Amino acid sequence: MIQKKVLIIDFGSQYTQLIARRVRELNIYSEIYPYSKLPAIDHTISAVILSGSPCSVLQPDSPFVNLENIQGTIPILAVCYGAQFIANENGGIVTSSEIREYGRANLTEISNENLLFSGVKLGSQVWMSHGDTISKLPKNFSIIASTRDVEVAAYKIENEDTFGIQFHPEVYHSEDGKIVLSNFLINISGIKQDWTPDSFIDQTINDLREKLSNDKVILGISGGVDSTVAAVLLNKSIGDNLHCIFVNNGLLRKDEYNDVLEKYRKIGLNVKGVDAKKDFYEVLNGVSDPEIKRKNIGNKFIDVFDLEAKRIENVKWLAQGTIYPDVIESISATGGPSSTIKSHHNVGGLPDYMKLKIVEPLNTLFKDEVRLIGKSLGINDVLLSRHPFPGPGLAIRILGEVTEERVRILQEVDSIFISSLIENDLYHDVWQAGAILLPVKSVGVMGDERTYENVVALRAVESTDGMTADWVHLPYSFLSNISGEIINKVKGINRVVYDISSKPPATIEWE
């Protein structure tokens, strides 16, 4: 079956991934492409959405896309910069706003007869984020919505299904944003809502069988949700040709190495454990810079896999559990002009000496979508409900130099924290939790003696996909008890603090 899709053209907006999420929530498949590298426009594309951008159409080097084969043929919804771009390219006038409009606004006028706003309430709150405004529309454009400060909050081109909206329907602050997207995709574009976990599984298994054929694949597994789901998908696709490798890099949680091996063997995966912790400690010796840590871990990870791949005859593929937020934060929103936040050890190319191709069956999915896929695959909830854990492990939760002793300290703290969340029925109220060992020491008193020991920070956040996150308001009584237990049981710690920063402006991990 040919999968119909929505093409999202990315001009580098920080919200582009949210557009994809909202489309998928409607059970409609979408793909994001940078404006500078579009796919072939064919009958599989049922609708096109243009994203916003940090750029201005008034800049001489602003992002440009040729819509000649799209506009008037395929329905278009142009958001923010996208709306200004189409208006400007068709002879309208876009000017710099006297006051940059950022935040909440309300629709004061709506064209009720227009399908795009069917069911949208007059006065509905929308989210604005723009420094330019459309001051004059081309002749064949008509205004279909306004706010108090923006006359052209939305427009339609006559005799074609091309719409421009100045606000962001993908952001939850836009109260009826989902209705607008639903109207465009279902009522105007006529797209069927047939993209479900089961359909994704069927399509992915078919694609993997076609791509991999009888080739052997090696996959690194960690016990996390992503690698687990990737492993089961690949196992269903190619069976015994999948060779799973679990590397003990010495940066895992307490007792995790043996626990993970046992769990995977129980679900029938062909898995081999490799204890390489001494090798990883060696490449981290004396290293404090977080990016160098990540790169060193990533390089050593590849070295270990290269060695294991050579021990398995005729391996041709390296599989990875890379998911979409990893890609976004590493390569600037699929190539658009947005900002890179940090690198991920499992994103990017392989060195020339390693003769393996990469397969990433989950790299278009968000974390919650991966869990839905895992549930449909019948994976045990104990594995699916595990909190996300960074690929570089505790190395990026140890600020400063990584040593075996500092790893031991953090493992003990993390074990107490996570176990206590589970025992107090708080674990599933938290999206991700962990402990961070800080590169400072503090004065304390234990008994009658003065101490000068390490400080550890606890971090617990709630999120949907990791792109944004709020700190969790854990009960004071819980924090008090956990602080006392950590200080009393973990030698080397005399102070515990709790991180109450949200993302943005902070990130979930400290490095």
Query: Could you list the active site residues?
Result: 80, 168, 170
DSSP 38: -
Give the strands of the sheet with 315-319, arranged side by side.
271-275, 242-248, 216-220, 315-319, 357-359
The three-state secondary structure class of 294 is helix
Beta carbons of 433 and 442 less than 8 angstroms apart: no
CA distance 342 to 330: 6
Residue whose structure tokens are 């060193």? 296
CA distance 62 to 377: 44
Backbone angles phi, psi at 17, to 5 degrees: -65, -30
Residue whose structure tokens are 């924290």? 417
DSSP 410-456: HHHHHHHHHHHHHHTT-GGG-SEEEEEEEEEEEEEEETTEEEEEEEE
DSSP 200-250: HHHHHHHHHHHHHTT-EEEEE--SSHHHHHHHHHHHHHHGGGEEEEEEE-S
The distance from CA 326 to its chain's CA centroid, rounded to whole angstroms, is 6
- Cβ neighbors of 324 (< 8 A, separation 6 or more) are 17, 20, 363, 364, 365, 366
- 48 beta partners: 7, 76
3-state secondary structure 336-348: CCCCCCCCCCCCC
C-alpha angle 360-365-371 in degrees, rounded to nearest 5: 105
Distances (CA, A) of 107 to 87, 172, 453, 459: 20, 16, 57, 39
